[in-house]
Structure 1
Amino acid sequence: MNEKKYKYLIITPSIFIFFGIFFPVINLIRFTLNSNPLKNNNNSKSITYSYEILSSDNKILSKLSRKFDVLDDTNSIPFFLKYSFISGEDKRFFKHNGIDLIGLSRALINNIQSRSFKEGGSTITQQVARLIFLNNDLSFQRKIKEMIISLILDFKYSKSQILKLYLNNIYLGSGAYGVNEASQVYFGKFINELTLSEVALIAGLAPAPSIYSPYENIDLAIKQRNKILESMYLDGHISLGEKDSALQEKVKLNYQIDNKNLNDKLLVNYILEEANKIIKTHKKYKFLKIKSSINKNWQEIGQHISKYIGPNNIEIALVSIESNTGLIRTMITSKNPSINEFNRVTSAVRPLGSTFKIIPYAAALIEGRKLSDKFEDIPTCWKDYCPNNFSENYLGKISLTESFKKSSNIVPLKIANNIGLKKIINLANLFGLGYEQKLEEFLPLAIGSYGDNLLNITNAYAVLNSNGNLYKPSIIEKIESKNQELIWENKFVHKKILAPKVNKNLNNLLEKSVSEGTSIGASIKGERIFGKTGTSDENRDLWFIGSIKNLTTGVWIGFDENKKSNLSSGNAAYFWKKFISKIFDLKIQ
């Protein structure tokens, strides 16, 4: 082999190797330098303010500290919180430049001596690099990238900013991202309300949240807490007295305290979404106290009894509206809201079935029809549309009252056809229906072929329980900032949409439906109840909407997959009755 060929064989691979490493590293450096994790962290979808959500009787439903503002130097990290994580995760945080060679060497020696992986050696800055720019892949390439990014982060940002990024983003188990969420999940507190013992327990979760979770193994969590406290003492961050006091403190987790937070993210998120709609300038506030309309006792009762609806994978939703204010007193979104991610009260748009029939009957009464007026309840076709009554049971010539009581399909279809579908649609819109799924001039709409959500159909029935007044449903009574400064208060705005006589006649129909008709499953001896059941094809959707006293409550039962069921609308009516009997302390058979 001549000398030229030899040099070529040596130099060519070297060039490829050099550029194969050099360019990716240069690109990584350029990308990191151009990125601004501080800005991205502040503009995340996380709530920009601390909040406290109260029930209607001023019990705490939820409270959460906002994430640390990485751009605001005046937003400081509490002392114990700062040094609990530094003692536990990165003792030399303020001394190294993003990579701690001393700590890395110590971890390596300890791991070799113990013949196990006891220490990771990653600095807090390296963990930030992994949290924001990388992933948790165990590879040599990822570790090199992590170290390069850490050096750049330490060069670009202050230690305080890096620590805030870490505390805002670290996963601490049970769905908690950041110490603010961990404070809420484990103790139901704001960050500044945490004791030294509680701070140490949260810091102890960082290495392995699933292993050290107090919800999974309280003894191991306490042992880890004690280890953090000992480190803080040895590092000079707490006194011997503070350490001993924290060691003696009994751990009281969120579910163990009397006024525990509700474990219902969907309900809390809905309240926050509504608050943000009300206060367009919510980003300027650092704290909001939101008084919701939720009755905490009713909410817990509804959630408890919903667990026993079977079969296991069938779902349920319930909403209770105070009829003469529009305030939402109860909102059950699922049998298991702690793992549920879908609000079936507001987001599930399902065929309304016979619950919609109140609209054509209302239209008939508005047009001057009387409850005693007769209609032919017989098999009827409209061109090629030939609907049936339930069980193909026809009653011949019957009054409006009898047809509604027996939930005839033929009669409301005849009403809609005679009056005109446009008038039916306009009236439905007036009641707040037909916006989730636009109503078209299609005859089957008269018997509930179109869909809507549980909140809207329940609020439509609340009109009949409030003398024909339509209120906008609301889950918030008032919002205050710090020092109880009033920002917004519910004014209960409403409009009259039904004349008193029409409203009275419609309630007559609803009362007959419960006392003598298809909705009898909801009847309670000695109580006046106004309601209607509804069912979609093959029992896929089971409804009951009913009013008692000044409360209108809607229930939906069905499968998320829209499967047919072996239940009936009577099950929805009975669940309604069970819930109502519990909250009003009524005896039922």
Structure 2
Amino acid sequence: MIDKILKHKIKLIIAVILVTAYYFALPKQLFKDPTSTVIESAEGQLLGAKIASDGQWRFPQNDRVPPKFKACIVKFEDAYFYKHLGFNPISIVKAIVENFKSNKVKRGGSTLTQQVIRLSRKNQKRTYFEKLKELVLATRLEFRYSKEKILSLYASNAPFGGNVVGLDVASWRYFGRFSNELSWAESATLAVLPNAPSLIYPGKNQEQLLQKRNRLLQKLLNEHIIDTLTYQLAIEEALPQKPYRIPQVATHLLQKVAKNQRGEKVTTSIQMNLQQQINAIVKKHYSELSQNQINNMAVLVLDVKTRKVLAYVGNSPTTRQHQKDVDIINKPRSTGSVLKPFLYAAMLDAGDILPNTLVADVPTQIGSYRPENFNKKFDGAVFASEALSRSLNVPAVRMLQSFGLDRFHHYLKALKLTDIKYNANHYGLSLILGGAESNLWDLCKSYASMASTVNHYDDTQGKYYKKEFIEPSYLANFNPEFGATSLEKNIFDAGSIYLTFEALNKVNRPEEEQNWEFFNEANKIAWKTGTSFGFRDAWAIGTTKDFVVGVWVGNADGEGRPGLVGVSTAAPIMFEIFNYLPNSNWFEAPFDELVQIPICSKSGYRAGEYCEQKNTEFVQQSGLKTASCPFHFWVHLDENEEFQVNTSCETLPNIIHKSWFVLPPLMSYYFKKKNPFYNYLPSFRKDCLGENSTTMDFINPKKNTTFYLAKDFKEQEQGIVFKLVHSNPSALVFWYLDSEFIATTQNIHELEMKPKKGAYMLTAIDEQGNEIQKKIEIK
């Protein structure tokens, strides 16, 4: 009795061991080969693929097998596929008999399931012992997976000749389209290839391939899977002669995906038609700009609402020598003027200016730094919005100095401009003119977040999302998480952003669009260009309610080129892309963040009591903190309004009281050149007592300055020209160098001197005793 129990126990243990061994005989992951990185458009079209690390074209596993290929492969390889449990005894017996007769392995008799096992085990030698292993593992595979899964494993891993592995890539390499789009003839062609992939594939042994294909088609006809007409049409189709290139519609995005999701199939948010159109636009402009040795450009298009990438062109179709493979969208480049809208919005947001506050545009020297406008000219005074739309450098630097470098740097860090890595003092005031670096991705995401802030403020009836300034994504399944709503702004309030966009909409478009201001409302774009020092980088970034388009143009190696200017190279590309995008309505004004107040029409400040011309305008809420107009004064004039007077020199009934718009002398001097109707403040009549005010200022030198004596072609030292402006040009001005009298000027207050090397005190005194001084050094 004990012997029987022991005997059965041993059998039970052996059975458990065998069952356990059988259960674990099949690895959890059959195929571990590296796969190609594949990206598709939002519509499911192939954008590109990167070859696997082992040099094979092998797309990631696809669990769907097209019906036509499924019918073909089953009929060709394993007619009883849906009936057996992994092996076919009849086929095995036939194979043994035939191989025995021929004295060699001539026929395999393997089912598709067994072939999957053999492929996963890297095609071991075709021995009977190996066949036995395959048989056992094939039955185990049948228990683990459905027939459809087994078919998909075969289709994704079967060899199709050369370095082509799997149905999906074979379809693209041999027919240039998805496998589910293949005809019966094409499906049959691919079905017969894995049977002898090293012997028969497109371009080699065509006759044998044709015969195999047609025999399979005949079998499909005989089995009533296809009809006679389909068969007749199918056998007339030609065989592919050579492999197609895998589509590469978004090569640089493919590089980006391969870094993060290597070997995966990724469905992106890219719109195929838009991507192809922009590729064509970039190619066209590259062919033109490359004539001027401008070789690289990048384009990024974002959807404001979804924060998805709609088009991604990392570089132009240039040469390897000019770094065509470099993705410039994420590369740091000098910003030029593209940060100016952020400064304007920050100053509005902080209540430091109103949209049209007059700002100075005069020769400026701050320490050793002397900013200049692109056209080398000055307006004296210009509205802040106009300074932004015209991208004037001097007002921008003076605004930054007034606002505070650290304050502005804080705003830029809040925008998460990742390439601004140093503290504010590292950049200095040149920060606003390209002294810092940023990249196209960060800049576009900032413009998109600002646009979305205005959109959401309208959608939520006056609230802000806490996570408005988020990273965009190139993934089709990306859903932006903006967080909870709040009454508190994120970075800029909606009113300040809206007014910034209003200013940017007034930027003059490129010359070919001279009538841009007559475009309908649906074509309004808030946009900004930028050009870095030395003509190395040209930018154009624009936003509508729905889309952001960013363009960078230049040379990847940093070489500057004449004519590499944002408005003439990058802006035309941007506008051409916007013309292809659907039109957008303009932003809704966020009235809850705006307030209507009287504005001085001449100065753009809040109207003071002496402003004679006032407009009622909407400004940001924080604008209520701004000062009232400092440029209008109540003056007292004689009957002819020729001189200022007071009761010491004129009777009260004869005095005319009038508001007068007065700019500081230096601003006034340049403002008068651009505004001929500007009237200087009349001087006091000579018989009036008790009036003495400073009415002049130096143009050169503006600050304590070091001058270097230059020499002409004859080695003669050139003089130094000193210049000042007086509110009364006809006034006499007496010039002194230290205590030594030099000369007198009237009307035109310019003086050329040739002082010796050394340090001096330059002094100018007018006939009424007003005095100004500057220290200078001659070297």
Question: Structure 1 residue 544 and structure 2 residue 534: aligned?
Answer: no
CA 1:46–1:341 in 2, change beyond 3 Å: closer, same or farther? Answer: farther
One-letter amino acid of the counterpart of residue 506, structure 1: T
8 Å Cα contact 2:271/2:311 also seen in 1: yes
Distance in 1 (alpha carbons) for counterparts of 2:210 and 2:432: 67
Cα displacement string for residues 316-349 of structure 1 (whole angstroms, at most 9, x for unaligned residues):
3222223344233333334459x99857464333
Q: Which residue of the partner structure matches residue 565 of structure 2? A: 568
Q: Which residue of the partner structure matches residue 378 of structure 1? A: 363
Cα displacement string for residues 197-239 of structure 1 (whole angstroms, at most 9, x for unaligned residues):
3245457889999x977xxx8xx898675254157689x9996
Q: How far off its partner does 1:530 sit? A: 1.3
Q: Which residue of the partner structure matches residue 750 of structure 2? A: none
8 Å Cα contact 2:361/2:378 also seen in 1: no
Question: Structure 1 residue 350 and structure 2 residue 314: aligned?
Answer: no
Tell me the number of residue pairs that the alignment of Structure 1 and Structure 2 aligns. Answer: 465
Q: Which residue of the partner structure matches residue 526 of structure 2? A: 530
Question: Structure 1 residue 462 and structure 2 residue 460: aligned?
Answer: no
Distance in 2 (alpha carbons) for counterparts of 1:344 and 1:331: 10
Question: Structure 1 residue 514 and structure 2 residue 492: aligned?
Answer: no
Q: Which residue of the partner structure matches residue 433 of structure 2? A: 447
Distance in 2 (alpha carbons) for counterparts of 1:303 and 1:326: 21
Distance in 2 (alpha carbons) for counterparts of 1:228 and 1:150: 26
CA 1:228–1:585 in 2, change beyond 3 Å: closer, same or farther? Answer: farther
CA 1:330–1:221 in 2, change beyond 3 Å: closer, same or farther? Answer: farther
8 Å Cα contact 1:477/1:490 also seen in 2: no
Farther off after superposition, 77-86 or 387-396: 77-86
One-letter amino acid of the counterpart of residue 513, structure 1: V
Question: Structure 1 residue 363 and structure 2 residue 346: aligned?
Answer: yes
8 Å Cα contact 2:286/2:316 also seen in 1: no
The alignment partner of 2:286 has SS state of coil
One-letter amino acid of the counterpart of residue 233, structure 2: Q
Distance in 2 (alpha carbons) for counterparts of 1:225 and 1:302: 41
The alignment partner of 1:355 has SS state of coil
8 Å Cα contact 1:53/1:63 also seen in 2: no
Q: Which residue of the partner structure matches residue 498 of structure 1? A: 492
8 Å Cα contact 1:172/1:202 also seen in 2: no
After TM superposition, the score normalised by the length of structure 1 is 0.59
Question: Structure 1 residue 308 and structure 2 residue 308: aligned?
Answer: no
Distance in 2 (alpha carbons) for counterparts of 1:422 and 1:43: 53
8 Å Cα contact 1:63/1:184 also seen in 2: no
Cα displacement string for residues 79-121 of structure 1 (whole angstroms, at most 9, x for unaligned residues):
74599899xxxxxxx989xxxxx99999xxxxxxxxxxxxxxx
Q: How far off its partner does 1:426 sit? A: 2.3
8 Å Cα contact 1:321/1:552 also seen in 2: yes
One-letter amino acid of the counterpart of residue 347, structure 1: N
- How is 1:15-54 mapped onto 2 (pairs within 5 angstroms)? 42=32, 44=34, 46=36, 53-54=41-42
8 Å Cα contact 2:531/2:564 also seen in 1: no
Cα displacement string for residues 240-284 of structure 1 (whole angstroms, at most 9, x for unaligned residues):
988995673376999xxxxx988435446767989x79xxxx99x
Q: How far off its partner does 1:519 sit? A: 12
Question: Structure 1 residue 400 and structure 2 residue 384: aligned?
Answer: yes
The alignment partner of 1:42 has SS state of coil
8 Å Cα contact 1:529/1:547 also seen in 2: yes
Stretches of structure 1 that go unaligned for 5 or more consecutive residues are 1-35, 71-76, 87-93, 97-101, 107-123, 133-145, 255-259, 480-487
Distance in 2 (alpha carbons) for counterparts of 1:409 and 1:534: 11
Stretches of structure 2 that go unaligned for 5 or more consecutive residues are 1-25, 50-57, 64-68, 79-91, 97-101, 107-114, 142-150, 241-245, 457-467, 585-779
One-letter amino acid of the counterpart of residue 448, structure 1: G
CA 1:148–1:316 in 2, change beyond 3 Å: closer, same or farther? Answer: same
8 Å Cα contact 2:185/2:217 also seen in 1: no
CA 1:190–1:512 in 2, change beyond 3 Å: closer, same or farther? Answer: closer
Q: How far off its partner does 1:308 sit? A: 0.6
CA 1:226–1:347 in 2, change beyond 3 Å: closer, same or farther? Answer: farther
8 Å Cα contact 1:522/1:574 also seen in 2: no
8 Å Cα contact 1:545/1:552 also seen in 2: yes
Q: How far off its partner does 1:192 sit? A: 6.5
Distance in 1 (alpha carbons) for counterparts of 2:282 and 2:125: 53
Q: How far off its partner does 1:396 sit? A: 3.5
Distance in 2 (alpha carbons) for counterparts of 1:410 and 1:576: 26
- How is 1:414-425 mapped onto 2 (pairs within 5 angstroms)? 414-425=398-409
Q: How far off its partner does 1:356 sit? A: 1.6
Q: How far off its partner does 1:511 sit? A: 1.8
One-letter amino acid of the counterpart of residue 558, structure 1: G
The structure 1 residue matched to 2:303, chosen from 318, 322, 333, is 322
8 Å Cα contact 2:551/2:570 also seen in 1: yes
Distance in 2 (alpha carbons) for counterparts of 1:437 and 1:519: 35
Q: How far off its partner does 1:416 sit? A: 3.1
Q: Percent identity between the aligned chains?
A: 19
The alignment partner of 2:507 has SS state of helix
Q: Which residue of the partner structure matches residue 248 of structure 1? A: 233
CA 1:476–1:555 in 2, change beyond 3 Å: closer, same or farther? Answer: closer
Farther off after superposition, 388-397 or 61-70: 61-70
Q: Which residue of the partner structure matches residue 264 of structure 1? A: 250
Cα displacement string for residues 411-436 of structure 1 (whole angstroms, at most 9, x for unaligned residues):
33333344333322321232232x14
CA 1:580–1:438 in 2, change beyond 3 Å: closer, same or farther? Answer: same
Question: Structure 1 residue 410 and structure 2 residue 394: aligned?
Answer: yes
One-letter amino acid of the counterpart of residue 375, structure 1: A
Distance in 2 (alpha carbons) for counterparts of 1:357 and 1:152: 76
RMSD: 5.8
Question: Structure 1 residue 559 and structure 2 residue 555: aligned?
Answer: yes
8 Å Cα contact 2:316/2:324 also seen in 1: no
8 Å Cα contact 2:47/2:248 also seen in 1: yes
Q: How far off its partner does 1:575 sit? A: 1.6
Q: How far off its partner does 1:407 sit? A: 1.7
Distance in 1 (alpha carbons) for counterparts of 2:370 and 2:405: 17
Cα displacement string for residues 174-212 of structure 1 (whole angstroms, at most 9, x for unaligned residues):
x96644323345557665665553245457889999x97
Distance in 1 (alpha carbons) for counterparts of 2:45 and 2:326: 21
- How is 1:132-151 mapped onto 2 (pairs within 5 angstroms)? none
One-letter amino acid of the counterpart of residue 399, structure 1: F
Larger Rg: 2
The alignment partner of 1:553 has SS state of strand
8 Å Cα contact 2:160/2:201 also seen in 1: no
Distance in 2 (alpha carbons) for counterparts of 1:230 and 1:103: 30
One-letter amino acid of the counterpart of residue 564, structure 1: G
One-letter amino acid of the counterpart of residue 501, structure 2: N
Q: Which residue of the partner structure matches residue 582 of structure 1? A: 580
Report 1 or 2 for greater relative contact order, CA contacts < 8 Å, sequence distance ≥ 6.
1
Distance in 2 (alpha carbons) for counterparts of 1:358 and 1:239: 73
8 Å Cα contact 1:315/1:558 also seen in 2: yes
One-letter amino acid of the counterpart of residue 248, structure 1: L
Q: How far off its partner does 1:544 sit? A: 0.7
Distance in 2 (alpha carbons) for counterparts of 1:203 and 1:246: 16
Higher strand share: 2
CA 1:69–1:322 in 2, change beyond 3 Å: closer, same or farther? Answer: closer
The alignment partner of 1:414 has SS state of helix
Q: How far off its partner does 1:128 sit? A: 8.8
CA 1:321–1:181 in 2, change beyond 3 Å: closer, same or farther? Answer: same
8 Å Cα contact 1:546/1:554 also seen in 2: yes
CA 1:555–1:186 in 2, change beyond 3 Å: closer, same or farther? Answer: farther
Distance in 2 (alpha carbons) for counterparts of 1:247 and 1:309: 49
8 Å Cα contact 1:201/1:222 also seen in 2: no
The alignment partner of 1:304 has SS state of helix
Distance in 2 (alpha carbons) for counterparts of 1:576 and 1:169: 46
One-letter amino acid of the counterpart of residue 198, structure 1: E
